[in-house]
Structure formats: structure tokens, C-alpha cells
Amino acid sequence: MTQEKVSLNLPRRWDSYKRKSQLRIKKIAQIIQAFRRQPRGVIGASIIAVIFVCALFSPWIAPFDPNEQDIANRFAGSSPQHLLGTDYVGRDILSRLIYGARVAAVVSIGSVGIAVLVGVPLGAVAALNGGAVDYIVILIFDVIRSFPSVIMILVLAAIVGPSLLNIILILAFTSFPAYGRVARAQTLWVKEEEYIMGAKSLGAPTGRILLSHIIPNILSPIIVLAGMDLAVMIMWESALSFLGLGVPPPTASWGIMLKQGYTYIETAPLMIIWPGIVLITTMLGFSLFAEALRIALNPRERDPDE
Amino acid sequence: MLNYFIKRVLAAIPTLLCVLLFLFSLIYLLPGDPASVMLGPRATPAMVEALNKSLGLDQPVYVRLGHYIWAILHGDLGESVWSGRSVSSLIMSALPYTIVLTLSSMGLAAFLGIILGVLAAINGKTIVDHLVTVLSLIAVSVPDFVAACLLLLIFAVRFRFFPVIGGGKEGNIVDQIHHLILPVIALSLGWLGYIARLVRDTTLEVLDMDYIKVIRSFGAPNRYIAYKYALKNAIIPVVATIGLGVGKLLGGAVFVELIFNRPGIGKVITDAVFARDLPVVQGGVLVAALLFILANLAADLSYAYFDPRIRYE
């Protein structure tokens, strides 16, 4: 008798899964379509794509070695040979900007990645456990967030000294509470759902509930947050390098180039203008992308005829 | 309201204690022996020992923690290792510059942001709206230190409209305002974009509400409705944002202060960080964090004051 019941139910359940996944694919396709309808989204996505392509393929794209000095040709203006001119020791500014994308990409992806990997499980565990664990985790988050982030980052950078890995760790340290908070709030919401109760009543261990039921369901706001944070991290890397607390020279970084431009602001304006423009364009690209994504994800704003 | 006030103030206390603990442990986080790190490689053992003694580093941890908190409660933040000046007087002489800079930047951002935001909302989906939206996106995307560098280049170095660096002569208000303009523009740009955007979105939302429809049905003109009725409700999130912004800028004007070489708390902290002047770093960060917490508290309270629903959550 029971055998028959199971064989009757399984296909129906399978159908509902199939139906659900079809719906989900349709929804994603709708979102992509809504995104592509907006020119700003396309512009933003292209800017971001250019940056990551530059970061990945910098040796092939850059016309010069970023550290190749040509003292005779220092402070040169734009020319067919050096499209954006040269800096105070005659290095090609365009090549240095292209290599700078590498540092920006590594720092932003690295720090956001670590922040997500630490913050999300912490927030989810806090929400699942409640009680003392929850209180302590929130306290940790609050303390880290109660420092103005600029000063926190500065002091930590001064303590551990400048290096690529250190910046990544510092930025991850100051930003993981944001992910933790979102994950915690989402988990509080999700944990009352029936499927979690179902998994619990079947005797699933907490770790399994966390990994295969809760985390996949709280991920989408975290992905949006992470996407916006990439830009913030790029900005921080430049800011720290600007102060001399970031990537050590002679590595090509937009912040270092801006700093050197600041030093020679009276003699060589090009040295400060180009990295400034690149930084602003990068930020703008991410803002445009986020804006278009927000509209595409919001069904009320998605449909222009509404 | 009083209950809510007490609850929020009490909730800030554990955070504050943890901040103190963090600042206290800063000295152990520095690699190597703190005194020799601060004095540099050429310090003699006698100098190191003298500094250890004056910082109280020769005593056990719990005694030092006690002393540290006791001193702070009495407003004593210690002395600078280098100049011997008391940290509180160093901070007090820099703080007014930062406060003036912060308040004028936030004031400018809020003033223009609200006007532009409402303008965009009442002209919804027209060229004005699009213009404001695009401009605010651009403004948000310019990091303050980049804005500061470019403003410095264009208006101070190229055209010499404004002085290049410094905070202006003491007592000469016109000169000080002259020195203030570029830093204020650099700092307010991002917040201006953010606030304009926020005001536009919330005003649009409020304009859709029933009470506005009633007023409109009486034949009141659009602009009148927007400024007299809609703005009052639309402004609540803006007030909270301004509070947060003030808190952030009080410690976060570091880059603008450095680029324009203005005195200020951010500059005090960075200079101390580079000089490894630990007491000044600790004191400066403590004051910045305290101001930040206070500004957040004020933002929360103002939110609760304007929106009674929050109080009863």
C-alpha cells in the first residue's frame, strides 16, 4: 500500500519542482531583459567589464611595462607613443592605469569575498542560536561599526603595515559586520519558514540546515550588497595607497598615482587628472550598474507602462 | 519618548566599553615592544625604560586598564610622546576646524539636496527629474579625496581663485571662509547626491498618499503641496541621514583635511599614526568614535521623534 502511495506522489512532486524551476528561469530572464532595456545598466556593465578585462589581461593590453622608466621623457604630454603622457620618472601613465586595475580587482574581490565568507555564517549562526551567542555576535558587529570606518582602517593599516594582503584583510575586517547584520536579519525571517521546520523534524543537524537550507535562501540581498561593496573597496584601496598605507610602490595603483600627481600638482596636471578620471569612471560604472539592477529587481519599477 | 531615549542611551554603553577595550589593547597589537617601536631604532635602553615608566607599561595589565579608564573618565587622555602636550588640548585645538567643516558641508549638502530632490519629484519623469537623477549618481560616484585633488588642481593651482592649502589665519573670518570653500565642496558632493536622491524617492512616495490626494482635490498647486505638506513627511529619513553623515564626517574628513593641509581631528590622528604617537592615536580615535556614537544616537532619537511608530517597536 505504502509503495503505491510513494510511486504516485513522486512524479507529481517532480512536476512541481520542474514547474518551479521553470518559473525561476523565466523570472531571471525577465530581470535580465529589464536590465538590458536600461541604457545606464548597459553603460555601467561595460565600464565594469573593461576594468576586469584590463585587470586580467594587463600584460597584453598595456603598451609599456608599467615600471619602465624613461627619464629623458618625463612629464611628457599626450603623444601617439604615450597616449596619456608620462609621469615624474617617465613611466607610461596609460600602462600604469591598466596595471592599476589589477590591484583594484584583487583587493575588491578578495576583501568582499572574505567579508562574505566570515560575516554570513556568523550572522546566520547568531540568528539560529539566539540568546547569548546572538548577543555577543551583535556586540562584536556594533563595536566594529561604532568606529568611523576611515579611522578604523587607518589605525589598523598603520598597525599591520602596508602590503596587498594586509589591505585585503583590513577591508574585510571592517566590512564583514555589514554582511553579518543582513544575514542575521534574513535568517530570522527564513528560520520560521515551514521547510526549515520540516528539515528539523526529519532530524537534520544544525550544520546541514544552515548550509543547505538557510544560506541559499538568504543569499540574494547579500549578492546585491557585495556588488555595491566592490566599488567601495576599490575606493578604499586607492585612498589607503594615497596615504602611503596601501600597496607599497612601485606597484601601479590608482591611489599611488593620484598621490604622485598630488606631489607634482604644480608641474604635471596630467598625472593627477588621469587617475582621478579613472577612479570616478569606475565608481560611476558601479553606481549605474547597481541602479539598473535595483530597478530590474523591483517588479514595481520594472514595467515602464505601470 | 523618554523610555525610548533611556533604552537607546543604555544600549550605547556596552559598545562604548568595548571601544575603550579595543583602544586599550591597541598597544599590544603593535608589533614589537611598544616603547621601542615608538622611539624608533636609535633609542637607548634607558629611553625605552623611561617611556615604559611614563606610559605605565611596567605595571600589570589590569592595573593599567583601571588607570586608563579612570583617567578617561576624568577627561585625561594622556600626553603626546613627542611634543609632551596633553592630548586633550591637541584635540581641542583641532576639533573646532573639523566641526565647522563638517557642519557646513552637511548643511550645504542638505540644503541643495532637499531643493533638488523636491524639484525632481514634482517634475517626475521630465527632463528636470532625469537631470537630477543623473547628476546625483555622478556626485555620489566621486570619492571625496579625488574631488579634493581635482578641485585643488582646477580652482587653486590653475586659476588661483582659492588659496591652495591651510585653514586660514586665526581670527580672520573672511580668510578662514575663503579657505573653507573648496574643502566643503569636496566633502559635500557625495552627500549632496545621496540626499537629493533620497528626497526625490521619499517625496514621490509621499505624494502618492491619500492625504496629498485630498489636498490636491481642493485645488492646491503642486509646488505648494510639495513644500508645505509632502516635504514634512519626506524629510524624516533625510534627518536621520544628516545625523549619520555628521557622525561619519567628524572622523572621516581625514583625506580632505590632509589634501588641503587643514588642521582638524582627522589630521591629528593621521599625523600621530605616522609618528607612532600612541597616546594621541588612542585619544583621537576615542573622541572620533564618541562623536560618531553620539551622532548616531542623535539620528536615531530624531527619527523616533519625527516618526512615533519607531518608539513602540
What pLDDT is stored for residue B34 in this prediction? 63
SS3 state at B58: coil
Return d(Cα B304, Cα B75) in angstroms, integer.
Answer: 31
Most confident of B49-53, B76-80, B85-89: B85-89
pLDDT in tens, A36-87: 888 888 888 899 999 989 888 888 877 777 777 777 777 777 777 777 777 7
Of residues B108 and B44, more confidently modeled: B108
- pLDDT score of B311 more than 70: no
- pLDDT score of A291 more than 90: no
DSSP symbols for A136-196: HHHHHHHHHHHS-HHHHHHHHHHHH-S-HHHHHHHHHHHHHHHHHHHHHHHHHHHTTSHHH
pLDDT band at A300 (very low <50, low <70, confident <90, very high): low
Return d(Cα A278, Cα A94) in angstroms, integer.
Answer: 10
Q: How many CB pairs (< 8 A) connect A and B?
A: 122
What pLDDT is stored for residue A306 in this prediction? 37
Say whether residue A272 is in contact with chain B using an 8 A CB cutoff. Answer: yes
Listed in sequence order, the residues at least 6 apart from A301 whose beta carbon sits closer than 8 Å to its beta carbon are A295
| B143:A258 CB<8 A | no
Q: Determine which of A5-19, A152-166, A235-249, B108-122 has the lowest per-residue pLDDT on average.
A: A5-19
pLDDT in tens, B189-207: 989 998 998 888 888 888 8
Return d(Cα A156, Cα B175) in angstroms, integer.
Answer: 36
What pLDDT is stored for residue A111 in this prediction? 93
Say whether residue B22 is in contact with chain A using an 8 A CB cutoff. Answer: yes
pTM summary value: 0.82
Of residues A243 and B160, more confidently modeled: A243
- pLDDT score of A303 more than 60: no
Min CA distance, B230 vs chain A (Å)?
A: 21
The grid coordinates listed for A86 are 608620462
Mean per-residue pLDDT of chain A: 81
Say whether residue B173 is in contact with chain A using an 8 A CB cutoff. Answer: no
pLDDT in tens, A88-141: 777 887 888 888 888 899 999 999 999 999 999 898 888 888 788 888 888 888
Give the position of cell 585653514.
B167
Query: Which of B143, B145, B292 is closest, CB to CB, to A147?
Result: B292
Min CA distance, A286 vs chain B (Å)?
A: 8
| A155:B26 CB<8 A | yes
| A265:B153 CB<8 A | yes
Of residues B111 and B60, more confidently modeled: B111
User: Residues in chain A, how many?
Assistant: 306
pLDDT band at B171 (very low <50, low <70, confident <90, very high): low
What pLDDT is stored for residue A1 in this prediction? 46
Q: Are B97 and B167 in contact (CB under 8 A)?
A: yes
| B289:A265 CB<8 A | no
Average the pLDDT over A206-210 and give the result. Answer: 81
Distance from chain centroid for Cα B133: 25
The grid coordinates listed for B56 are 605605565
Return d(Cα A83, Cα A8) in angstroms, integer.
Answer: 71
Q: Which residues numbered 88-147 in A keep a CB inside 8 Å of some CB on B?
A: 139, 142-143, 146-147
Average the pLDDT over B139-161 and give the result. Answer: 83
Determine what percent of chain A is predicted with pLDDT higher than 70: 92
Mean per-residue pLDDT of chain B: 80
Say whether residue B191 is in contact with chain A using an 8 A CB cutoff. Answer: no
Return d(Cα B251, Cα B283) in angstroms, integer.
Answer: 12
Which architecture characterizes domain A50-302 according to CATH? Orthogonal Bundle (1.10)
Cis peptide before A250 (omega within 30 of 0): yes
Min CA distance, B269 vs chain A (Å)?
A: 8
Average the pLDDT over B62-80 and give the result. Answer: 75
DSSP symbols for A84-118: T-B-TT--BHHHHHHHHHHHHHHHHHHHHHHHHHH
Say whether residue A286 is in contact with chain B using an 8 A CB cutoff. Answer: yes
Say whether residue A239 is in contact with chain B using an 8 A CB cutoff. Answer: yes
Which residues on neighbouring strands pair with residue B86, listed in sequence order?
B79
What pLDDT is stored for residue B164 in this prediction? 67
Quick one: closest CA in B to A239, which residue?
B145
Min CA distance, A148 vs chain B (Å)?
A: 6
Cis peptide before A177 (omega within 30 of 0): no
Say whether residue A269 is in contact with chain B using an 8 A CB cutoff. Answer: yes
| B273:A265 CB<8 A | no
| A262:B259 CB<8 A | yes
Return d(Cα A241, Cα A259) in angstroms, integer.
Answer: 8
Q: Which residues numbered 38-97 in B keep a CB inside 8 Å of some CB on A?
A: none
Return d(Cα B123, Cα B128) in angstroms, integer.
Answer: 6
What pLDDT is stored for residue A116 in this prediction? 92
Tell me, what's the ipTM? 0.80
